[in-house]
Structures are given as structure tokens and as C-alpha cells.
Amino acid sequence: MAEQLRLMTVHAHPDDESSKGAATMARYVAEGVDVLVATCTGGERGSVLNPQMDRPEVLADIANIRKREMDEARAILGVRQAWLGFVDSGLPEGDPLPPLPEGCFGLVDPEEGAKPLIKLIREFRPHVMTTYDENGGYPHPDHIMCHNISVVAFDAAGDPTKYPELGDPWQPSKLYYNSGWTRARMLALHEGMLAAGLESPYTEWLQNEERPDRGDKITTRIECGEYFETRDNALRAHATQVDPDGFWFHVPMEMQQKVWPTEDFELARSLVDSPLPESDLFAGIRESVDTH
């Protein structure tokens, strides 16, 4: 029987799946790939970032609202989605930083925290996984823990001696990190806006950005510009988190598709041969999977 290619993307909160690699997921769904989003937390401690939604009744029901938003985004992207059941840590602010709340995701032991993800991997049997780099893409405790449990799970899921109670072993073939906003991508869009006589939303960010740039680590660029609109619609579904008039939507769609039509990834682990650079997350896998 023909086998369907399967992709699992692991994210910290509802809305992360729509801002990181969403167009790539939509492209693969359109090509017939089975895509599952694993969401670590419910986003219970997330702030309301859209001024239009910043109302007392929203804050009082934020956990349920974010679940409904996730359902809408999932439907837009055409993916499946599963909750791992951890509690949002919130983003600690202040100097010194306050301790994380007891029982939150950011404080779990990664070996324990990986268990529901290992179980999900063994049930879904993905060929490819994506997650965040060791810095979480940015240093949110839930993003860093998402990385930690993803790496543990990738290594353990195929080992029959580890967590035998969590199902039959399954070893994904590749693990990628979402690349996010590299300086090269931001600069290309910034210069495109200026060349068109438009105000760039990236001017201040380019001047003040202090995070280490990982552009030199990109191994894989997925052409998915035709799915950027799907990505943006999924983002807008997370109405508590995304201002429809905000930063994300200031660059005209046609310019995004022309200037930077890819979503980019770092190949972190691979058990198959696939020459770099790549243009397909399933490079080196399609040849061994009978999809016909």
C-alpha cells in the first residue's frame, strides 16, 4: 500500500504554528502530506496583544478563547493538531527576572516533559519533525523547553528500550529548527519597501536587534510564497495575539512573495542522505517511502 508522508511540527503556544513555518505546512498539505501540529501549552498566561480584543471578558476566558482560535487556525491551514497538556509559563519580565510559576512548562524535567511528545510521535509516526533551536528562537522559557523536549523525544522515540509503555518505537528521519527572522530576510524586505517608496516597519528593529543571527545555519529553503496568504489568515485567527493592523502585515503580499518567497529551516539531525542545501524537508526520504 502507498504510504503518506507525515510531518510533525512542535510549538510552544497556540499561534506559534501560524507565525513559524505555516506557509510550509500549507504547501505540504496541498501536496498530500499529513501534517500534525503538537502544541505544548494552552497559552493560558499569554497577554492580549490585539488592542481590539483587550477586554475584561476576554482576559477572564483566555484559555478557552485561545483553544477556539487554535481550532480556527488549524482549519485554515488544513492540519491536524494535538495538545501536549502543559501549562504556559508566561514571559517573565523585570530585573532581576521573577521565578517562573510553579507547575509551568518551563520548569518541567525534559525527560519527563518529553513523554507525551514521544507517545504522539509513536502514534503519528512522522518522517520529519520541526521545532525551535536551543535558544527557543527567542529566549521565552516555553520555547526553550519546547526545544529541549523535542530533542529528547526525537532521540528516544525510536529506541525500544526507552519508555516502552508509550507505544511501539518510531524513529523520525529528520529534525529541523525553524529559522525565523534572519537579518538577511529582514534587510531584504526593508530594502524592498524603501525602493518602492514605502515606509519600512523594520527600520527600528534593524537598528536595535541584538539577538544572534543564525542566517549562516540555514540549510533548507522551502518555496511557499503562494501560501503566504493562508499563513496570514491563520495568524489573524489568533485574534487575541495578533493585531490585524499590526507589524506582521505592513509589507505588501506581492513584495513578500517577490523578495523572500521561502520559509527557511536549519537541519539539526538527519538519518538519511540529502545533499545540502535543500529545497524539501523530505529530501532523502521520498526515495525510500512508497507514496504511489
| CB 147, CB 132: distance < 8 Å | yes
DSSP state of 197: T
Contacts for 102 with CB less than 8 Å, ≥ 6 apart:
none
**41 DSSP β-pair partners:** 86
Q: State the Cα–Cα distance between residues 232 and 236, nearest whole angstrom.
A: 6
Spacing of C-alpha 52 from chain mean position? 25
φ, ψ at 181 (rounded to 5°): -95, 95
Residues in binding site for Zn(2+) = 13, 16, 143
Contacts for 130 with CB less than 8 Å, ≥ 6 apart:
7, 8, 9, 10, 21, 175, 176, 177, 178, 265, 281
Whether a cis peptide bond, with omega within 30° of 0, leads into 244 is: no
| CB 278, CB 24: distance < 8 Å | no
| CB 269, CB 30: distance < 8 Å | no
Q: State the Cα–Cα distance between residues 150 and 152, nearest whole angstrom.
A: 5
The C-alpha cell at 128 is: 520529519
Q: State the Cα–Cα distance between residues 174 and 126, nearest whole angstrom.
A: 9
Contacts for 60 with CB less than 8 Å, ≥ 6 apart:
none
Whether a cis peptide bond, with omega within 30° of 0, leads into 96 is: yes
Residues in binding site = 13, 16, 143
Q: In the chain, what's the furthest Cα-to-Cα distance? A: 61
